[in-house]
Amino acid sequence: MPMKKAARNWFSIAAIVMAFALASTLAQTTPKVDELSATAADQGCVNQGKDRRALAPIVCWLQQRMSWKSEHEPHFALIGKPDGISLGLAWPPYAVFNMPDGNDHWRMFRIGFRYDRTWRGYIFPTIAAKQVSHPLRY
């Protein structure tokens, strides 16, 4: 029983930290993924999509040096409900927090070594807060 209580305490602490980080990041208006420009931002980040990066000169420089290709996807553990509030964890260190917003969208916050299935590799550093159409798992 002590292990179950320790796991619940760890989950509570992690959820509070992630929720605080998400709330503080989303305090600014976050554009919906659908509303982003159709052209890539091309700030020099690894496999950059349509969204622009804050602190791009630093983040993109770091990503170019600290990201690597890999065919091995991370093992992913989900804590919470897949269709509700959840915290996903993976190794190398990666965390993604998903929370439904009640309007058929999800608020997502992620940080760490993100595995990019299109690029087939790990991108680091990555930190993002977005409103998306479905919860993210990687």
Which residues are within 8 A (CB) of 123 and not within 5 positions of it... i.e. 6 or more apart? 46, 47, 63, 67, 113, 114, 115, 116
Nearest to 115, CA basis, from 76, 82, 80, 61:
76
Please write the tens of the pLDDT for every residue from 8-31.
555 555 555 444 444 444 333 333
DSSP 39: S
pLDDT digits (tens, 9 = 90+) for 45-68: 898 877 777 888 999 999 999 999
pLDDT of residue 43: 86
pTM for the whole structure: 0.66
Residues 81-136 pLDDT 10s: 988 999 999 999 999 999 999 899 999 999 999 999 999 999 999 999 999 999 98
Please name which of 48, 52, 50 lies closest in space to residue 114, comparing C-alpha atoms.
48
